[in-house]
Amino acid sequence: MGAHYTPAPLAKFVADKAVAWLKQMRAEPIRVLDPACGDGQLLKAAIEALLEHRIKSWLAVGVEADAHAAGEARRRLAHAGSAVHLIQGDFLQAATAFTPQQELWAKRDADTSLGTRFDVIVANPPYVRTQVLGAAEAQRIANRYGLSGRVDLYHAFIRAIGDALRSGGILGIIISNRFMTTLAGKAVRSYLLNEFEVLEVIDLGDTKLFEAAVLPAVLIARRKSPANRPEPYLVPFTRVYSRTGRAQVEETPARVCSSIVEAIVAGDNGLVETPDGKFVITRGRFIVTPGATDIWRLVSSQESEFLRRIRERSHQTIEEVAFVRVGIKTTADEVFIRDNWAVLPGEKRPEDDLLRPILHHEDARPWALPGRYVPTARVLYPHVVSGSGKRVVDLAVYPHARRYLESFRSRLEARRYVIDAGRRWYEIWVPQDPAAWGLAKVVFPDISPEPRFFLVEENYIVNGDCYWITLRPGMPEETLYLILGIANSRLMTRFHDTAFSNKLYSGRRRYITQYVGKYPLPRPGTPAALQVIALTKELVEQTRQQAASDSIRQLEDAVNLAVYEAFGFEGEGGAQ
């Protein structure tokens, strides 16, 4: 299931952090659990941490579904003897022993019993979308843990871990840092703040400490007792990201260390240099409120002041004046999207009025597309405007498209979620609004190292690897140019990084609705805002004409200065 086991340095770091909190818990024996122990590295590190803290009486339990990995764990932990109990099985099923809803699950085998609740749990749970498990199993897990929407298997693991951890017990877990800042992580944040006291958060960013595609964070938390009062409190954090571009801390010499883990443990703050590159470590505290679902912003006091200044001069956000939507999602791109429709036999080549130009992330560039630019790809788009809504076309009216789609019918019908939703088998899963494609729009890719927002006035469709912005009814056309200028500016890139802290590897940023929609806009009609609009219009025109790069760069510098002035940062808009 896409397992990525915990490397030894990270395992030791997490285990040391978790076990260190046991100093307030001297009753022995100490019971330790790793609910997805993989090859046993994290559980081994927890045992070593117990011994380093002179805890003599303990029992370590590991659960692992994969037989091969469970065998590796047994070999790794053989030296610990009977103090280690390894279970090959399903932790989510075994953990039902701690809840009253056992009848919802299949009967457990005797050797999967976890016994009583645990004093400390260390975990690197699997990061797998529940749909990968199959519809029936995914629904069973969702029902059991009250999960909904786009959830991941680790959401269920966190709920089950909460059931298995005793009141006052300590959790040390490695999870994707996305849970802190995304809409999908809202339920996880709420559960953690309701059921745990968060002790520390370490966002490991793009440090590449292990092979998983997700960016990891380490969370240390204590299971609450029912008597805990729901009052706001401060949580210490550490944030680590690779130094890209002209970092603000570059004038400070980097401290050389053997690894990023060493630098974190040593308490370093600022620029550090390791054999894997240079990284910026930021430390601070952020406030949380039990029951709240707000995103977790790991920002320093200096960064908090920057956000305050931005909000002070903000009049509205993009989502208040415009719609920010993801592009279409066919869930069968190889069928619906091609750049070589012309090679098909005439009787299977869909009718031209169903083939629409479609923009991908490869088409993206700042400001505008070159004049007369037409995307090479076209999408078979079987949706049309109908009255005040949309409808799917009748294939009887389009015999060529029908023959083409029929040749892929079994594949398209395998998308059971389309059929189960009462839709036609040949529909695009997320077609968006056919009536909106003809509107002027700002398009941007979902992942990019730099902002690449560009104006599109043609009737082009946008693919699901991009997002698009259209104005709400009644908003003046100039607002779209204001959005374009603000979104491509250096100041807004700094805002994005500070407010959302969700960089990917190699300095790439994730641009999604819930981030871009929160971009602030200055009060329209002010001299600086009008200057942003005028300069952006000129940039759009110059880009369409493919003007010289020096001319474009000068206009971009002028836009940046105007944006800084619009938000009250006069004199701070020089090159960074």
Q: How far apart are CA 92 and CA 112, in angstroms?
A: 11
Q: Is the dihedral of CA 385, 387, 390, 395 positive or negative?
A: negative
pLDDT higher than threshold 60 for residue 248 = no
Under the banding of pLDDT at 50, 70 and 90, the label for residue 457 is very high
Residue 254 confidence class, pLDDT cut points 50, 70, 90 = confident
Using the structure block, give the residue that is written with the tokens 């009025």: 353
Bigger pLDDT: 15 or 242? 15
Residue 455 has pLDDT above 70, yes or no: yes
d(CA 489, CA 491): 5
Rounded to two decimals, the pTM is 0.78
User: Residue 128: pLDDT above 70?
Assistant: no
Q: Write down the pLDDT at residue 246.
A: 42
CA dihedral 18, 22, 24, 25 (to 10 degrees): 140
Residue of higher predicted confidence among 252 and 550: 550
Rounded distance between C-alpha atoms, residue 299 and residue 285, angstroms:
8
Q: What is the mean pLDDT of residues 527-549?
A: 96
Q: Which of 248, 127, 244, 236 minimizes the C-alpha distance to 177?
A: 127
Q: What is the pLDDT of residue 95?
A: 85
Instruction: Give mean pLDDT, residues 224-251.
Output: 73
Mean pLDDT, range 438-443, rounded to an integer: 97
Residue 165 burial class via C-beta count within 10 angstroms: exposed 0-12, middle 13-18, buried 19 and up: buried
For residue 284, how many other CB atoms are within 10 A of its CB?
19
pLDDT grade for 26, boundaries at 50, 70 and 90: low
Helix axes 549-566, 478-487, angle to 10 degrees: 100
> Of the spans 252-261, 279-288, 318-327, which averages the highest pLDDT?
318-327
Q: Looking at 186-190, 258-262, 499-503, which range is the least confident one?
A: 499-503
Mean pLDDT of 101-128: 68
Going by C-alpha positions, the residue among 382, 434, 433, 384 that lies closest to residue 404 is 382
Angle (nearest 5°) at CA 18 between 12 and 21:
135
Lowest mean pLDDT among 59-73, 122-136, 145-159, 178-192: 122-136
Among 80-89, 423-432, 541-550, the range scoring the smallest mean pLDDT is: 80-89
For residue 364 the two structure tokens come to: 């993206």
What domains sit in the chain, N to C, each tagged with a CATH number? 8-224 (3.40.50.150), 323-566 (no CATH)
> Looking at the predicted structure, is the pLDDT value of residue 369 above 90?
yes
**What is the CA 470 to chain-centroid distance, rounded?**
24
Given a cut of 50, is residue 64 above it in pLDDT?
yes
Q: CB count, 10 Å around CB of 190?
A: 15
DSSP 374: -
CB 91 within 8 A of CB 36: yes
Alpha helices per DSSP H over 53-119: 67-76, 91-94
- Residue 81 confidence class, pLDDT cut points 50, 70, 90: confident
| Token pair 């899963």 in the structure block, residue | 429
Mean pLDDT, range 440-456, rounded to an integer: 97
pLDDT band, residue 253 (cuts 50/70/90): confident
Q: Average the pLDDT over 209-227 and give the result.
A: 81
Per-residue model confidence (pLDDT) at position 150 = 63
Dist. CA 540–CA 429, nearest whole Å: 33
What number of residues does the chain have? 576
Q: Which residues are CB-neighbours of 71 under 8 A, at least 6 positions away?
A: none
Whether residue 251 is predicted with pLDDT greater than 60 in this model: the reply is no
Mean pLDDT for the stretch of residues 270-275: 90
| 145 vs 141: CA distance, rounded Å | 6
Give the best-scoring range by mean pLDDT among 121-135, 171-185, 213-227, 427-441.
Answer: 427-441
pLDDT band at residue 228 using 50, 70 and 90 as cut-offs: low
Give the mean model confidence (pLDDT) for residues 120-134.
Answer: 75
